[in-house]
């Protein structure tokens, strides 16, 4: 009776109009076990922003704490009505589930125990700050309940909150090896992917390693990135070329967000445009690296832009794919070198170290992608 579920709808890593079926299945399970009720529904666009769009987080906060949103007795029906208005899962606006007329099923209030079930830190941090971290001031809060708040994983090492599953300690990741061998490395990305070249690349730790430098290029403040498919790719590229010319680093680790972030919108024409912008930027960087007698490695950690229509539903595909990704080695000194078949992401680090003449540590189970 006292368990309430606040649903954050996906629509990016799932088909864009699939949440109604998931919520219906959840309701069936609730009825089967006789415990729990759905209290609110909102799209991830609001509740799981990671780009400091605090006005979005405020809408989620006001829904959860103060029941600010459209009223609906049936959450599945309300989601389907959103579809009819052309609003897919990611963008579903705050819905307050009601009982006994207009009475909210539940809000988050003083003394509640809250478990945030999202395992990935970057999209859980902002809402966690608003709900549970003292001194939060990104938007005005008049109703701030004291909560027993549990993070599913380590969202931020500075959060004084209990954690259900702590991040395992990784030994001898690339950042460790670079530090040990004094390999200067420069990390660049725009806001949307900055965590990927820092926190995630460093094995889930916030700290900056020795020999590591960082540059954050701000992402444009847009509703969705199909409105500006170039994103911040040219600013990133200009910084790479400038730092290369200054001779300030041995290695660049760069993330271009465009194919993924624009691909998530499901807009084919804009995703093609996004890929063309990145292709132009990669061309400039590769040319500059060759002039500097450097080498360039180009890869991805998942697919997205290469499949824009879901073959099962015929709907726009907004989710990642599990398709193989390319790996390109552009290096004058490696002419004639062949790359082997059957590579995996675990092989990228050992390949980088091999090209640097550094023996990979035993903890790295991948293999050099170059054929012996």
User: Tell me, what DSSP letter sits at residue 173?
Assistant: -
The per-residue pLDDT for 198 is: 97
The per-residue pLDDT for 283 is: 98
Would residue 32 count as lying in a domain? yes
Residues ≥6 apart with Cβ < 8 Å to 51: 191, 192, 219, 221
Q: For residue 227, give its domain range.
A: 174-356
What pLDDT, in 10s, does the model give residues 191-202? 999 999 999 999
94 and 45 assigned to the same domain? yes
232 and 180 assigned to the same domain? yes
C-alpha 97/C-alpha 64 separation (Å) is 11
pLDDT < 70 regions, the chain: 1
217 and 145 assigned to the same domain? no
The per-residue pLDDT for 45 is: 97
Would residue 163 count as lying in a domain? no
The per-residue pLDDT for 142 is: 84
123 and 242 assigned to the same domain? no
180 and 147 assigned to the same domain? no
pTM given for the model: 0.79
The per-residue pLDDT for 206 is: 87
71 and 193 assigned to the same domain? no
140 and 208 assigned to the same domain? no
The per-residue pLDDT for 315 is: 85
Query: Helix 233-246 to helix 268-291 angle, to the nearest 10 degrees?
Result: 10
The per-residue pLDDT for 77 is: 98
Structure tokens at 64: 């959860």
The per-residue pLDDT for 168 is: 85
What pLDDT, in 10s, does the model give residues 277-305? 999 999 999 999 999 999 999 999 999 99
């Amino acid at each position: 009776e006292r368990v309430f579920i606040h649903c954050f709808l996906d629509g990016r890593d799932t088909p864009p109009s699939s949440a109604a079926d998931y919520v219906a299945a959840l309701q069936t399970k609730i009825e089967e076990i006789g415990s729990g009720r759905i209290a609110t529904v909102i799209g991830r666009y609001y509740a799981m922003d990671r780009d400091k769009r605090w006005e979005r987080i405020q809408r989620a906060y006001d829904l959860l704490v103060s029941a600010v949103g459209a009223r609906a007795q049936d959450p599945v029906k309300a989601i389907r009505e959103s579809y009819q208005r052309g609003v897919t899962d990611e963008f579903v606006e705050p819905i307050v589930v009601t009982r006994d007329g207009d009475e909210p099923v539940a809000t988050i209030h003083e003394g509640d125990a809250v478990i945030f079930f999202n395992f990935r830190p970057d999209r859980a941090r902002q809402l966690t700050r608003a709900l549970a971290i003292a001194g939060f001031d990104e938007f005005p809060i008049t109703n701030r309940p004291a909560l027993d708040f549990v993070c599913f994983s380590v969202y931020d090492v500075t959060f004084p909150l209990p954690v259900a599953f702590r991040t395992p300690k990784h030994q001898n990741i690339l950042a460790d090896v670079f530090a040990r061998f004094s390999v200067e490395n420069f990390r660049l990305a725009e806001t949307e992917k900055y965590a990927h070249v820092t926190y995630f690349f460093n094995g889930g730790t916030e700290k900056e390693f020795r020999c590591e430098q960082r540059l954050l290029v701000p992402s444009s403040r847009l509703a969705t990135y199909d409105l500006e498919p170039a994103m911040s790719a040219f600013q990133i590229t200009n910084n790479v070329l400038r730092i290369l010319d200054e001779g300030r680093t041995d290695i660049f680790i760069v993330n271009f967000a465009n194919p993924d972030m624009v691909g998530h919108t499901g807009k084919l024409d804009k995703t093609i445009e996004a890929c063309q912008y990145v292709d132009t930027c990669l061309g400039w960087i590769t040319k500059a690296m060759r002039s500097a007698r450097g080498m360039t490695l180009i890869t991805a950690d998942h697919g997205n832009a290469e499949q824009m229509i879901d073959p099962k539903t015929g709907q726009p595909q907004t989710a990642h794919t599990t398709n193989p990704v390319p790996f390109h080695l552009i290096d004058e000194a490696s002419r004639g070198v062949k790359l082997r078949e059957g590579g995996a992401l675990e092989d990228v680090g050992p390949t980088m170290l091999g090209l640097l003449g550094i023996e990979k540590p035993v903890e790295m189970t991948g293999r050099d992608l170059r054929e012996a």
